[in-house]
Chains A and B, each alone.
Chain A
Amino acid sequence: MNRLSRARRAVTLASAAAISLALAAPASAQETFKLGIVTFLSGPAADSFGVPARNGGTFVIDQLNKGGAPSPYEKVGFGGMKIEPIIIDENGGATKQVQELRNLYQRDNVDAVLGYISSGDCLAVAPIAEELKKMLVLMDCGTPRIFEEGKYNYVFRTAAHATMDNVGLIRYMKAKNVKMETLSAINQDYAWGQDSRADFVAAAGQLYPNAKLVTDLLPKFGAGQYGTEISALVSAGSDVVYSSLWGGDLQSFILQASPRGLPKRSQLVFSAADHVLPPLGDKMPDGTIIGARGAYGLMSQKSPLNDWFFKGYEGANGVYPVQAAYRMTQAILGLKAAVEKAMAKNGGKKPSTDELVAAMTGLEWQTPGGLVQMKLADGHQAIQSIGFGRTKYNPDLKRVDLVDIQYFPAECVNPPPGVKSLDWIRGGMQGAKCN
């Protein structure tokens, strides 16, 4: 081999090395992670869930981009890449959301989409992400059907589904010796209300086998006026009145039920009512048992991560964070953990969708609301712990406090892998680990 060909070979090798090094180079500071965020910015769910979720997301992304989050999230953005959010309104129905999701992936070229509060929207968009082979993180919707009736590789849900809310509520009532020989229920006549009611009644059948369902009301979503329903509930005089109402409907119900003595006649138990405590204030009857769909808000447990989030959110928005803000935060932190795990494996490059999917599957990470574990649906569905408490108005702080709080571990209130939620409840909640 002469000197010239040796030199050529060296140049070729050097070029190849340079190219491969360039390809394997860590994500540069200029590189960003485009994140589509979908949440209700208008419509009935905006105030209670959509806007708090957006505010939570904005706060966390801002903090992450500044490197202002506490350990283990102190690294800027996602693995050094600044997060570039594109926020979309979830209002408008499932058909619109399917199109919006395609736009996010194909027009805006986002690296992942994160969001969705409505169960109907989640059910509609999950197959689209799967078809396009793009990363989708569902952050809030409650229906267990997503992974119990479907199987997805590119779809994850970073919060526990609604079964936990109702199993946990019944366990809390039992732990606190709440008498329930008779039960009445009022839930909205759509997927959330009907599924919640089914879970609660089934769980009651296990822990309160003698309880009788006396009145079972399903007013339509957005009914607003509940005078007749309240008459029926007061007339029934059952020991417990259960409801999964939320937002303006729940506020109206409480405003109308309190002066008519319903909270005095029956123990009110609400599966997801934390978000109405700030607007209702002293209108919220003392002693009402409420859940927050996790250990969130006033039921969140002290930790550096929660202090950072709670105080930061409150400072930025003038009100403390409730469930949707927490759920958005845990989704973003979960995605950050997955991106950084994937980057640790691939030499610091921006991960491909498949690398991200592999990193997210079965992931565990700490959040302001506690540990989240992707344990169900082959590592695609999260479980988490949950808290419940009783309301007590604090006239000094002019806010509703929660007392008598009790937490239940994730594996106590969520079904084990491979079992459908309702089957698990009806089968006696076998395998639950409550200690």
Chain B
Amino acid sequence: MDSVKKENLNDKDIQLILGTLLRAGVIISMSIVLIGGAIFLVHHNGSITDYKVFKPELNKFSSIAGIFKGVLTFQGDAIVQFGILMLIFTPIARIVFAIFSFLIERDYLYVLIGFIILAIITVSLNGGLTH
């Protein structure tokens, strides 16, 4: 009985940390998007938008390397994209955290499941399938 109770307590702690992690990820990444957006608007005040036709080749920030390069030169749209990148990584960080917590609980089946999800996302992250 005692061990069951302890496990439940663990679960509660994990849920609390998990919730905080998700919220922090959203707040931080959205703040970055907001800052980048302000810089972008100041710089592109007079420009005209045109999104009628999908032109992926015009997107300068479609790779992680490209985004970092743009952030270093302080371009607003690159900072927005960096914030979006952080937002994308928030649920991924959540999986990493879940793997650790299941490891502590010695629930190896779910450690494995966590790694499978990470592997699936990594495959797409490498762009192996997309180019």
Are A and B interaction partners?
Answer: no
| Residues of B in contact with A (beta carbons under 8 Å apart) | none
What residues of chain A have their CB less than 8 Å away from a CB belonging to chain B?
A: none
